[in-house]
Amino acid sequence: MKKRALGKSALEVSALGLGCMGLSHSYGQPVDRQQGIALIRAAVDRGVTFFDTAEMYGPFTNEELVGEALAPVRDQVVIATKFGFEVDPATRRPRGLNSRPEHIRQVAGACLKRLKTDRIDLFYQHRVDPQVPIEDVAGTIKDLIGEGKVKHFGLSEAGVQTIRRAHAVQPVTALQSEYSLWWREPEEEILPALEDLGIGFVPFSPLGRGFLSGTIDANTKFDSADFRNTVPRFSPEARRANQALIERIGQIAGRKRITPAQMALAWVLARKPWIVPIPGTTKLHRLEENLAAADIVLTRDDLAEIDRALAQVTVQGARYPEQMQKLVDR
């Protein structure tokens, strides 16, 4: 597996990471624990060194899964997790945002225990908390870095001004936000700012929550616990309309003898050398398919053809339900 550095930081990771959320959270029923451990270890065996989790995934259970799976190879991998929500310990339901310094410290301690480790390699603020100045958040992470409990600071779904303010206090190693063939908004302001500041970019949902793999259509039925049931972009009407995008991607991928998923990932990788996508999966054959994308080279002509194809389609539906969209910093 090829390696990439996240921005100007010294943090080097595999060109593709593994988003572990779907093993425990959001996409239907959690996988069997041993199955999840086996998948994570299979990723390690295939060269993946970058694993993404969060206290909110489960909540808590995904960190426990990742910690157990990676314990035997802890010094060979980079683990990213996140703070920023308050979870009711009794019900394990989120109460809302909380990035107060004392809460960040509490979460860091709990994450270390669940992950079975003595340091968090990359600690993201999961969502920007408008009630807490970002300078206070960055200062708290700076202190945790000084104490050796955290190695690198990250932000998720943060806007340009927030990124700049945080970076002035404690250098931000990476921003994690959605980016893919069907969500290109980061190209407008985010990517230029990251390049200017020397910050890496970690796109989540680079496969459009599965849609860009070409395996979902208007007739697909999701598990009752799958959050895509609430996402406007995944309504049957939107899926039917967005099928035109898949058809165009599929035609180009077919000519290159690769899958639509591989082309979607290769496209993200081709945007900048400091971008590291973190596709998730619960299936070994999908993991292998995704990882093969790291070796696919798209030429300038390929990228121009993809751009022309995307320009012919207007993607239908918002990427988040309204309540989740309110948590995105602008």
Choose the catalytic residue: 27, 57, 124, 179. 57
pLDDT of 90: 83
Alpha carbon separation from 249 to 194, 202, 256, 263 (Å, rounded): 28, 22, 11, 8
CATH number 3.20.20.100 is the correct assignment for the domain at 3-325: yes
Is 57 a residue of the active site?
yes
Q: What type of residue is 257?
A: R
User: Comparing 5-14, 86-95, 245-254, which segment has the lowest mean pLDDT?
Assistant: 86-95
> What's residue 49's pLDDT?
98
pLDDT tens track for 288-311: 999 999 999 999 999 999 999 999
**pLDDT score of 89 more than 90:** no
pLDDT, tens digit, 9 for 90 and up, residues 157-200: 999 999 999 999 999 999 999 999 999 999 999 999 999 999 99
* Helix or strand holding residue 161 (H, E): helix 160-169
What tokens does 36 get? 């999840």
Edge-first strand listing for the sheet containing 78-83: 18-19, 50-52, 78-83, 120-125, 150-156, 172-178, 200-204
Note the pLDDT of residue 290. 98
Q: 178: helix, coil or strand? A: strand
- Tell me the pLDDT band of 94, cut-offs 50, 70 and 90: confident
8 Å CB contact between 291 and 42 = no
CA atoms of 50 and 124, how far apart (whole Å): 14
CA atoms 234, 245, 158, 107: torsion sign: positive
Tokens read off for 321:
């339900």
Packed helices 61-70 and 33-45: angle between N→C axes, nearest 10 degrees: 50
Whether the Cβ atoms of residue 87 and residue 94 lie closer than 8 Å to each other:
yes
Prior bond of 59 cis (ω within 30°): yes
